[in-house]
Chain A
Amino acid sequence: MNIEDARRAPIDAVVIGASAGGVLALSTLLPALPAQTKAAVFVVLHLPRDRPSLLVEVFSHKCALEVREAQDKEPVAPGAIYFAPPDYHLLLEEGPHLALSADDLVHHSRPSIDVLFESAADVYRRRLIGIILSGANEDGAAGLAAVHDAGGITVVQAPDTAQSSLMILAALQLRPPDLVLTLDQIAQLLRDLGSNTSRTA
């Protein structure tokens, strides 16, 4: 698959996983999403579990889309960006709607990228893009493989452009992703998605 194919794919949702160095990467990506974006965006960023997250405040100011902290049983709104709350896993259910869990840590993390990606793959199948960004553990590799197996599009940030490449390398090793892109290229892809899905809608 090349970036042109990805751009044309009908996509309902984007899942993004990031850890160390992730805030910086997200600061490039999320503000690139135009107001008319139809896909819903779900983000797991590893953060300290014992304090409230400021992500919603930080990104609300930078983004054209509405930014929210995910709530349990909340119906998914198209064109919204949802952050997993600290100390909860974020999952997708049929509907689609959001679900949270306080189950055990996965790869020392809660929220875990694998948990989000695997449940999103079940719900969205081929209408999903999974993206792994900068990070320093192995969470996300199995999740991205699930997105791939379900027919979704898989993307990783080019490892040499990431602050921390361990998470990307783990994903690359488990299942070669469809696309390895710089942040600017991923931003471009997401921007085009917005216009494409609105055309097919």
Chain B
Amino acid sequence: MSLPLFVIFAALLIVSALGVILQRNPVRSALSLVVTLFLLAVVFIFLEAHLVALLQIVVYAGAIMVLFLFVIMLLNLQSEPVEVGRVGLRFAAAAAGSLFALQLIWVARAKGFLAGGMNDGLPADFGSTTVLGEKLFTQYLLPFEITSVLLLVAIIGAVVLAKRQVN
């Protein structure tokens, strides 16, 4: 995958991620997050993770974000008011966030575990459904079954929590 294309998508990702946290209207934040998820799915395809990219679009952008938008519409959320007298706080937040990111980047560049591998040839079915399914049902069978129990518990919990109390 070529470097200029990666830089373009990285810049778009950062812009849309900033759009998630900086916009005052929650619907616009949700839509910015949908754009971020789609761009991330494209980056996953660049990294030869085809099934994961598909699942990102279908599950994350197609189900979880729709759930978020339903809740925002259900609660009829308005835009956040501009907070008065806190301009200094915004600069402090931006400075702290940049410091945090620089710290992580410094650690990422300092170590020597980044030797090669990205340009080597891959097996032809890397990232395909077959190989992922094979690993999921043989080596990772126990987490898979536990995840199904987790989903059941989440469904029951969500229904119980959101049910209207009949007194």
A-B complex is real: no
| Residues of chain A whose beta carbon lies under 8 Å from any beta carbon of chain B | none
Residues of B in contact with A (beta carbons under 8 Å apart) = none
